[in-house]
Amino acid sequence: MGVRFPLGAQMHHNMSNNIKNKHSKIVITDFDGTLSEKLVNGQKVPGLISVLMSEPGIDKNCLVEYEELFNKYHPYEQDINLTLDQKQGFMLKWWVEVYSVLKKYKVTEKMIMASCDSPLVQLRSGVKQFFDYCNNLCIPIIIFSANGIGYNTIEYILKKNDISLTNVRICANILHFDANGQYASTKLPIIHSANKIGETLIKNDFVAPDQDQTDCVLIGDNIDDLKMSEGINFNNVIRVGFGDHASVEFTQNFDYVLPIDAGFEEITGKLNSQ
C-alpha cells in the first residue's frame, strides 16, 4: 500500500459544500495511471503505447525507433523553460513521428487491441462502480487522454469491463486503419501532453467555456493533469490525484491525494456520503 494523505479538514468542508449545493457536476479524468492501475504486482505500468511496443508481435526496430523518439522529445516535455507554444510544437512533432513509426512497421489494429489484453493493463478497483454511480445520477464523464493510441483502446478497455458509455465522452487520439487493418492515420487535431488542457475540450465541443453552474471533479495521476480544466470557467474544481509518493507538489496542488495503488471506492463514497 502507498501512503495515504488524509482528507484535510478544509477540503472536506469544501467537498461537502460542493456535493450539497445545487450545482450540477461533471467529471474530467485522465486514463493512463488514473483509471488504469499505475502499479501491477508492484511494478510501475507504462502508458498504453509503451505496453503496445513491448508486445511480442511488434518489430524490434519499431521499439528501437519509438525509444529513440522518447529520448529525443521527453526532455522537451519536462523542460519548464519552454513557452507553451514551443512545447506544443515539440509534442506535436513527437506524436507525428511516432505515428510514422507505427505506419512504417505496419502496426495493426489487432496488435493494438491485443496490447489492451496485457496483464499490465487493468482498471483500478471500483472504477466500474464509480462510472455506474455517475451514470445513475446523469453526471457526465470526460476521459481526457494524450496517450498515442487513446480512443480506440480506452473504449475497448471500458467495454471489456462492462462499463456503460452512455454518459461518457472520450477526448483522445482516434486512429484509422486501412483495409488490411494496418494503421493509416490519426484524426486531427492530435492530442498530446501540451494541449491536454481545458481549452482543447472547449475547441472540440466537449464543454462550453462558461460552466459557472457546474462543479468539476478532476481526477489525475500527474501534476500536469491539473491543466485538464484550465480555461474552463467552472463554479468550482475538486482536484483528486493518485499520488506517486509523499510529494509536497501533490499535496499542495491536489485537494485530495490518494495512494498510488488506491481504488475509486473512496471517491465514490465521498460523493455518495453527502
Note the Cα 102 to chain centre separation in Å.
21
Q: Which is nearer to Mg ion, 32 or 109 (CB)?
A: 32
CB of 212 to Mg ion, least distance (A): 28
Cis geometry, peptide bond prior to residue 189 (ω within 30 degrees of 0): yes
CB of 30 to Mg ion, least distance (A): 4
CB of 242 to Mg ion, least distance (A): 9
| Cβ 203 vs Cβ 162: under 8 Å | no
Q: Which is nearer to Mg ion, 30 or 244 (CB)?
A: 30
CB atoms within 10 A of CB 205: 9
| Cβ 248 vs Cβ 268: under 8 Å | no
CB of 32 to Mg ion, least distance (A): 4
Determine the residue with CB nearest Mg ion. 33
C-alpha dihedral sign at 209, 241, 194, 80: positive
- Which cell numbers hold the place of 145? 487522454
Residue where the block lists cell 501534476: 223
Q: Which is nearer to Mg ion, 32 or 155 (CB)?
A: 32
- Alpha-carbon gap, residue 191 to 88, rounded angstroms: 10
Q: Which residues bind Mg ion (CB under 5 A)?
A: 30, 32-33, 221
Q: Which is nearer to Mg ion, 109 or 244 (CB)?
A: 244
Q: Which is nearer to Mg ion, 115 or 214 (CB)?
A: 115
> DSSP H helical segments within the chain, as ranges?
9-20, 48-53, 60-78, 84-104, 109-116, 127-136, 150-160, 198-203, 248-253, 265-272
* The one-letter amino acid at 266: E
CB of 146 to Mg ion, least distance (A): 9
- What one-character DSSP code corresponds to residue 191? P
- Which cell numbers hold the place of 68? 529513440
Q: Which is nearer to Mg ion, 105 or 151 (CB)?
A: 151
CB of 222 to Mg ion, least distance (A): 5
